[in-house]
Amino acid sequence: MLQSAFMLAAFTIFWAAFLFWGFGVNALSAILFIAFAGLAIVIIRSAAKARLTIRLLPDAPVDPEDKQANTRWKIIFSIQGGAIVAVCAILGIQGQYQYIVPAVALIVGIHYFPLGAIYRTKIHFVAGAFVVLVAVFGIISQALGILGFEAIGISAIAAALSTVILGMYITCVILHQEKA
C-alpha cells in the first residue's frame, strides 16, 4: 500500500499539469500547480519516512489477505489503464481532445470504488464520488457549451485533490500503524 503513496504523489503532479491546458498559462494555474507539487513532495517525504520506519521493524509474515488485496489492486489498476488508453484513443481519433481530461478523471474516480471495497475504506468512496461528479459535470458542461477548456482545469483540480487526499491518508495511516 505504501507504493500507492508514491504513485499518488506522481499522479498529483500529472493532474496539476493539466491546469495549464484548462485555465491557460497564468498566475492561477502556476499557483495551483506549485501548491499541488508541494503537497506531492509532502506525500513523498511522508512515504519515504514510513518506508524507513518499516525497514527498521522485524519482517512480518505475509498475510494471505494482503496478498489477495494486492492481486485485486493490480487487476483494478490494469483495467483502469486499459480503459484510459481506449478512451484516449477513441477521443483522439475523433478529434475530441477537450474531453480527454474529464473522461480520464471519470475513469479514475470510478476505480476508487473497488479500491474502497478491497481496503475497506470510506475515503476511497468519498474521493471516487467527488471525482466522478466533477468529471461528469465537466463532460456535460463541455457538451452543452457551458464551459470550454475550464472544464479540463476543474476536472484536473478534482483529480489532483483526490490524489493528494488519498496519498496523505495512506501515509498517515501507515505511519500511525507502525507507531502503534
176 alpha-carbon distance from chain centroid: 22
d(CA 66, CA 119): 9
Long-range own/partner contacts, residues 1-4 (CB < 8 A, 24 or more apart)? 1/119, 1/170, 1/174, 2/47, 2/50, 2/51, 2/54, 2/170, 2/171, 2/174, 4/73, 4/166, 4/167, 4/170
DSSP 8-state symbol, 25: S
Question: Under a CB-based contact definition with an 8 Å cutoff, are residues 179 and 6 in contact?
Answer: no
The three cell numbers locating residue 57:
521493524
> For residue 101, how many other CB atoms are within 10 A of its CB?
27
* pLDDT value, residue 60: 56
* pLDDT value, residue 51: 82
Of 179, 151, 174, nearest in space to 46 by CA: 174
Split into its structural domains, the chain has a count of 1
Question: Under a CB-based contact definition with an 8 Å cutoff, are residues 128 and 113 in contact?
Answer: yes
Find the domain containing 17 and state its range: 2-179
Q: How far is CA 34 from CA 51, 91, 155, 156, 167, in A?
A: 25, 29, 17, 14, 17
pLDDT under 50: residue ranges of the chain: none
* pLDDT value, residue 53: 75
Angle at 14 between CA 10 and CA 16, to 5 degrees: 115
